[in-house]
């Protein structure tokens, strides 16, 4: 009997937490309006994979250029 009551309470609790109105929407991250140009410093590679720092640096630069909002 206790097991049935516990399972019913657990099911009710899960049903209450799974509502469609709970949505995580983070605030938009923007730099101040007076910043027009940014610089991306090269990343340091502390792994054994050769050339990783160059790939990551280029990907970060590409993402800023893809947006088109800032000059790099």
| 28-48 pLDDT per residue, tens | 877 788 888 889 999 998 889
Per the CB < 8 A criterion, the answer to whether 39 and 72 are in contact is yes
Structure tokens at 2: 């206790």
Which of 8-12, 16-20, 27-31, 59-63 ranks highest by mean pLDDT?
59-63
Strand partners, 37: 71
Alpha-carbon span 57 to 47, nearest angstrom: 15
- The Cα–Cα gap between 57 and 44 comes to 9
At 14-28, the pLDDT tens digits run 666 666 666 777 788
**pTM for this predicted structure:** 0.54
Q: Where are the domains of the chain?
A: 2-67
Distance CA 35, CA 58 (A): 21
Q: Which two tokens stand for residue 36?
A: 């027009």
């Amino acid at each position: 009997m206790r097991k049935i009551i516990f399972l019913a309470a657990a099911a009710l609790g899960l049903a209450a937490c799974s509502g469609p109105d709970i949505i995580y929407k983070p605030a938009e991250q923007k730099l101040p309006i007076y910043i027009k140009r940014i610089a991306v410093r090269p990343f340091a590679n502390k792994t054994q994979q050769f050339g990783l720092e160059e790939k990551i640096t280029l990907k970060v630069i590409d993402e800023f250029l893809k947006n088109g909002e800032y000059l790099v």
